[in-house]
């Protein structure tokens, strides 16, 4: 008996209505993608014991993953702006699956680096094209759509420490392979999303290669991107200090166990997921620039206090920091996409790539700092980074794009 076509397969896509089904599916794909990626960092204590790694080697492992995830993304985004490839989405999942299996069976540190590289490559293919689909399905509510998309990723990232605490740490390195079903499920979901995106491009007669001028002068554009670069730097350098080293900080400073420390990391990542969901729609209502102000500079009092509080307050502060800090990224991405209409993939690849690259460099630098001066020094040094949020004053004020002017 033939399969009955689903509503997603039979609908005629339009550019001016928000497609929540597609947004939910691409968000689920982001959740599955980032849950795979997030298994790497919580496995560090296991890798450190198995391969006798220093903090510097752990930082290089993160750098390897993040560089492959960052350097390719702008190139992928630029190419797909001209030649959209909706079916590249499941290809990224298969690469991530390969990375996962390499990590599970790695007999040496060098093979761990190979596994981390493959994970990063999978992510670099996924993010630019999935950001395009998100904008296609937004129907003009770009901040909301970006938040729905990114909350899937942040939720997936928060799952990693739980999976590691429940399965990987108790059962060893090979148990990483138990999660191979996640990218397989992701590839299945993203095949359907790719089919919808292809129909969207056909139905809306989009010309991806058409050049659309920026909304501001070249000089203003250069200044704006420089400011956004500094803001991304401050956010993701700080996030690297938490995601890569919070477990070691808590176990060394407060003497708690690895699994309990991983739960604190989960609290931070879960708070980031909530903050991401809030940031986009709030930006649609009050403006992206206002959200960026509050998100970056507003978190400074809490980061400055973190190195001086006890274990209980540490848990409270990392939740607040994650909630506030995460709301910036949806606003930054949509703000940049509105500056350069028609370059969705390039902008998404650039900013997702920057977030991965800066996070990787941060992890490597902070790992060296921890080896030289102790893990406490990481949080003292990073506590001042959100003060760079004052640079938001140099961002131009943009009138929000209307649904009728959607450029994908």
Compute the C-alpha angle 45/47/50, nearest 5°: 110
Q: How far apart are alpha carbons 21 and 230 in whole angstroms?
A: 35
pLDDT average per 10 residues of sequence, the chain (408 residues): 48 67 92 88 86 86 82 79 81 92 93 93 86 84 82 80 83 90 92 88 61 64 84 86 88 88 85 81 77 86 94 93 85 78 72 72 84 90 90 76 44
**Through-space distance between the first and last CA atoms of the chain, rounded to whole angstroms:** 38
Contact between 182 and 163 (Cβ < 8 Å): no
Query: For 63-105, how does the pLDDT look when each residue is reduced to its tens digit (9 = 90+)?
Result: 888 778 777 777 887 787 777 777 888 988 999 999 999 999 9
3-state secondary structure of 13: coil
Separation in Å, CA 353 to CA 72, 201, 208, 356, 358: 7, 25, 21, 5, 8
Count of positions (residues) in the chain: 408
Q: How far apart are alpha carbons 255 and 259 in whole angstroms?
A: 12
3-state secondary structure of 209: coil
Domains defined for the chain, CATH in brackets: 19-398 (1.20.1250.20)
Measure CA 90 to chain center.
Answer: 18
- Write the DSSP string, 30-62: HHHHHHHHTTTGGGHHHHHHHHT--HHHHHHHH
- Write the DSSP string, 371-397: HHH-THHHHHHHTTGGGGGGGGGGSPP
Contact between 231 and 223 (Cβ < 8 Å): no
Contact between 132 and 349 (Cβ < 8 Å): no
Structure tokens at 408: 């994908």
| Residue 4, pLDDT score | 47
Angle separating helix axes 218-254 and 328-339, nearest 10 degrees? 160
């Amino acid at each position: 008996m033939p399969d009955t076509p689903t509503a997603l397969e039979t609908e005629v896509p339009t550019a001016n209505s928000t497609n929540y089904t597609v947004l939910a599916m691409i968000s689920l794909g982001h959740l599955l993608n980032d849950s795979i990626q997030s298994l790497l960092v919580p496995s560090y204590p296991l890798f450190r014991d198995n391969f006798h790694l220093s903090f510097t080697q752990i930082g290089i492992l993160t750098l390897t993953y993040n560089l492959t995830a960052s350097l390719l993304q702008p190139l992928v985004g630029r190419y797909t702006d001209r030649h959209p490839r909706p079916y590249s989405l499941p290809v990224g999942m298969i690469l991530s699956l390969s990375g996962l299996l390499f990590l599970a069976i790695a007999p040496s540190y060098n093979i761990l680096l190979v596994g981390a590289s493959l994970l990063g490559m999978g992510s670099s293919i996924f993010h630019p094209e999935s950001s395009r689909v998100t904008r296609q399905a937004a129907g003009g509510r770009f901040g909301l759509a970006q938040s729905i998309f990114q909350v899937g990723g942040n939720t997936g990232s928060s799952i990693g420490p739980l999976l590691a605490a429940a399965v990987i740490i108790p059962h060893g390195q090979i148990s990483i392979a138990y999660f191979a079903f996640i990218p397989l499920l992701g590839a299945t979901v993203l095949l359907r999303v790719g089919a919808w995106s292809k129909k969207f491009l056909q139905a809306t007669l989009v010309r991806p290669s058409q050049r659309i001028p920026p909304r501001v002068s070249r000089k203003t554009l250069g200044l704006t991107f420089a400011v956004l670069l500094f803001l991304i730097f401050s956010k993701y350098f700080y996030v690297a200090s938490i995601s890569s080293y919070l477990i070691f900080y808590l176990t060394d400073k407060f003497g708690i166990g690895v699994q309990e420390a991983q739960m604190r990391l989960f609290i931070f990542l879960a708070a980031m997921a909530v903050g991401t969901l809030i940031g986009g729609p709030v930006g649609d209502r009050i403006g992206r620039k206002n959200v960026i102000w509050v998100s970056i500079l507003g978190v400074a009092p809490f980061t400055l206090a973190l190195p001086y509080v006890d274990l209980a307050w540490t848990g409270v502060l990392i939740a607040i920091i994650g909630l506030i800090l995460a709301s910036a990224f949806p606003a930054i991405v949509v703000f940049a996409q509105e500056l350069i209409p028609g370059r969705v993939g390039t902008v998404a690849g650039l900013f997702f790539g920057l977030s991965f690259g800066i996070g990787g460099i941060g992890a490597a630098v902070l790992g060296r700092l921890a080896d030289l001066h102790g893990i406490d020094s990481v949080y003292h040094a990073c506590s001042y980074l959100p003060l760079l949020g004052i640079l938001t004053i140099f961002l131009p004020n943009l009138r929000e794009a209307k649904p009728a002017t959607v450029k994908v």
